[in-house]
A and B are shown apart, each in its own frame.
Chain A
Amino acid sequence: MSTPASGLAQIGKSVVIKGELSGSEDLYLDGQVEGSIALKGNSLTVGPNGQVRASVDAKGVVVQGKLEGNIQASDRVDLRKSAIVTGDISTQRISIEEGAFLKGKVEIQRTDPK
């Protein structure tokens, strides 16, 4: 189980947010978020206590907790073994650990060779 790196923006497990969440730095989210999350160019980590009901648009997404909503990741998505994801995933690369639960579509976006 990975822990947040020091200096990383964090939302603790007692925090509840409803609305649009956006930023330009990596975010570790262990609380509850309902709405949308936009971290273009940056990564989102949903911690083991995290409960997200939101569409997510980020460079990288790591899920250890619960996420309900579509994930659009320009780089990669990692579903750890404790992840429970309901929603469609669109990304370039994906890694899913044994034990992760997914209800939804996985679509790999191919980048055209230049």
Chain B
Amino acid sequence: MGEVREVRVSSVSQTFMKFFRGSSGPETIPAQGSQKLTRRSSGLGELSRTWDSAENLCVLDLGSTSPTNIRHFTEHGHRIYSEDLLTASTDPELLTKDEQGNAILDSRKFLADNLVYPAAHFDFVLCWNLPDYLDESLVKPVVGRLWSVLKPGGMLLAFFHTRDAGPDSPCHRFHIVGADTLEMQKIVLRREARRGPTGAVHTAVSEGFQLQRVFNNRHIENLFRDFASIKFFLARDNVREVLVVR
């Protein structure tokens, strides 16, 4: 992963300093009053054609818990698993150091607590924008685990930024609102509510996850090199959709 162009200095220590200020794990919440944006997704459209015509599929959604997505799949008679990996990656207990003393996240511990499923269990994995925002030390191990939990022929959808647009690259959660339409909602992190001296409850809110890097096509192909095939869809909003098949 060292060849991937960094657009942010590795943010492990910064992130954890932010999280250590509170005593409990952060929650991801949609930004208060944030406008929901909709976008067409060719990758989703391709997946929809499969899950609309099949029954009893097993789907893994790796974004923030989305009632809309859960309803979408359960209405189609599929089983959906929800697991918010980005939030899970903010667990302070994951912080460790590599041989050079650099702060990294313990991928072994992370995978012992997350993505614990039988091999070849899922027909679809919805990664959304996870690889762009997940800490560097977790990206490859997570993709490796996703390969193993996907069935042969199973499909994975991921989104990658084509450039760092700064504040215009906020981390979103994605809700499926149509066969090829997604609703995007900006994520912010909410710390625990605290009672101030006046008795009022204050909830500290900070900006959401930061874009960690920008992958180019070759990096993406390397990341998914164990998969059978990979398909790119370039969108207008500086996002490259990637559909890979195990």
A94 to B70, CA, bound (A): 9
User: Is A20 on the interface with B (CB-CB < 8 A)?
Assistant: no
**Chain B nearest CB, measured from A77 CB (Å):** 11
- Whether A101 contacts B67 by the Cβ 8 Å rule is no
Q: Mark A91-107, 1 if CB is under 8 A from B, else 0.
A: 00011111111111111
**Chain A nearest CB, measured from B221 CB (Å):** 31
Q: Mark A19-55, 1 if CB is under 8 A from B, else 0.
A: 0000000000000000000000000000000000000
- Whether B70 contacts A106 by the Cβ 8 Å rule is yes
- Whether A104 contacts B81 by the Cβ 8 Å rule is yes
- Whether B79 contacts A101 by the Cβ 8 Å rule is no
Q: Mark B62-83, 1 if CB is under 8 A from A, else 0.
A: 0001010011011001011111
**Chain A nearest CB, measured from B134 CB (Å):** 16
- Whether B65 contacts A96 by the Cβ 8 Å rule is yes
Q: Out of B29, B30, B71, B80, name the residue touching A105 (CB < 8 Å).
A: B80
Query: Whose C-beta in chain B lies nearest to the C-beta of A97?
Result: B67
Size bracket, chain A contacts: 10 to 19
User: Is B84 on the interface with A (CB-CB < 8 A)?
Assistant: yes
Q: Mark B201-238, 1 if CB is under 8 A from A, else 0.
A: 00000000000000000000000000000000000000
Assuming the contacts A108-B77, A110-B77, asked whether A100 and B82 have C-beta atoms less than 8 A apart, the reply is: no
The B-contacting residues of A in range 69-88, CB under 8 angstroms, are none
User: Is B27 on the interface with A (CB-CB < 8 A)?
Assistant: yes
Which positions in B face A, CB cutoff 8 Å? 27, 29-30, 65, 67, 70-71, 73-74, 77, 79-84, 88
Q: Can you list 20 A-B contacts (CB < 8 A)?
A: A94-B70, A95-B67, A96-B65, A96-B71, A97-B67, A98-B30, A101-B84, A102-B65, A102-B70, A103-B83, A104-B81, A104-B82, A104-B83, A106-B73, A106-B74, A106-B82, A107-B74, A108-B74, A108-B77, A110-B77
